[in-house]
């Protein structure tokens, strides 16, 4: 999953973005509202984490612009001001959630994961596709009851396919949701990671789960 984090306070920006990456997210980071707005308008993020008090362009202006453009990207607002009026204003402008500073990173992470599930209409944190189980909270995977060890990138790819189970997902969609804006990777990297996943997920005697649709992309499940 791909996240945009717009925050001008450098220590918080660094720690949160590092934590999100360690949790398996691709993260684009901006320190000011003008650049953050450009990112938000340019990419289809799974979640945007947006500080309200930003230089150049404030967070609420960015939020209004996103919604004016008809973008339904889930937005989590961060603020140091904890008043009912502030929360109501942000939510009325189209924010999906609200978190007051200081906060525990674990809570932010849980809120981001919940927003991703809502975006893809997945209420249960455990995704089940036939005999495959993906626990999005614990980031664990089992098939037919057997644990499967995945790298962070392999897990991110599997989770993205699982959230769109039964749908054909193009290579472009996969690229845009799993890699950061300035990522320098080979053009065939999606094919390579699909191969890695197949070697770990597909098992003798069990039905194939990852299907190739030539010229279109990949699909998890039937």
Written as one string, the DSSP assignment of 139-158 is TEEEETTEEE---HHHHHHH
Q: What is the pLDDT of residue 108?
A: 97
Strands (E), the chain: 2-6, 26-30, 47-51, 75-79, 97-100, 126-129, 132-135, 140-143, 146-148, 210-213, 217-220
Do the strands 47-51 and 2-6 form a parallel or antiparallel pair, or are they unpaired?
Answer: parallel
Among candidate residues 181, 140, 134, 138, the one with its CA nearest the CA of residue 160: 134
Q: What's the Cα-to-Cα distance from 151 to each of 23, 155, 197, rounded to whole Å? A: 11, 6, 10
The answer to whether the beta carbons of residues 157 and 193 sit under 8 Å apart is yes
Domain with CATH 3.40.50.2300 in the chain: 2-119
Alpha carbon distance 163, 2 (integer Å):
14
Chain Cα centroid distance, residue 117: 9
- Mean pLDDT split into 10-residue runs, the chain, 222 residues: 94 96 92 94 92 93 93 92 80 92 95 93 90 93 94 91 94 83 66 92 88 92 79
Domain 2-119, second-level architecture: 3-Layer(aba) Sandwich (3.40)
Q: What is the pTM of this model?
A: 0.86
pLDDT digits (tens, 9 = 90+) for 76-131: 999 887 777 877 888 899 999 999 999 999 999 999 999 999 999 888 899 999 99
Domain with CATH 1.10.10.10 in the chain: 126-220
Domain 126-220, second-level architecture: Orthogonal Bundle (1.10)
Q: What is the pLDDT of residue 157?
A: 92
φ, ψ of residue 169 to 5 degrees: the values are: -110, 125
The answer to whether the beta carbons of residues 102 and 58 sit under 8 Å apart is no
Q: What is the pLDDT of residue 185?
A: 54
Alpha carbon distance 188, 75 (integer Å):
31
Residue 215, SS3 per DSSP: coil
């Amino acid at each position: 999953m791909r996240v945009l984090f717009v925050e001008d306070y450098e220590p918080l920006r660094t720690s949160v973005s590092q934590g999100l990456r360690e949790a398996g997210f691709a993260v684009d980071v901006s320190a000011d509202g003008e650049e953050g707005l450009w990112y938000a308008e340019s990419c289809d993020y799974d979640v945007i984490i947006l500080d309200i008090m930003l230089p150049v362009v404030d967070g609420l202006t960015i939020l209004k612009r996103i919604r004016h453009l008809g973008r339904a990207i889930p937005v989590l607002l961060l603020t140091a001001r904890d008043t009912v009026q502030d929360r109501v204003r942000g939510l009325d402008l189209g924010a999906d959630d609200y978190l007051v500073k200081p906060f525990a990173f674990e809570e932010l992470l849980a809120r981001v994961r919940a927003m991703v599930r809502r975006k893809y209409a997945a209420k249960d944190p455990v995704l089940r596709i036939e005999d495959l189980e993906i626990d999005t909270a614990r980031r664990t995977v089992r098939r037919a009851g057997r644990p499967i060890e995945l790298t962070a990138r392999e897990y991110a790819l599997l989770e993205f396919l699982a959230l769109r189970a039964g749908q054909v997902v193009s290579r472009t969609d996969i690229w845009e949701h799993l890699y950061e804006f300035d990522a320098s990777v080979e053009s065939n990297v999606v094919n390579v990671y699909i191969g890695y996943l197949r070697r770990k997920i597909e098992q003798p005697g069990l039905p194939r789960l990852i299907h190739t649709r030539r010229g279109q992309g990949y699909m998890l499940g039937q």
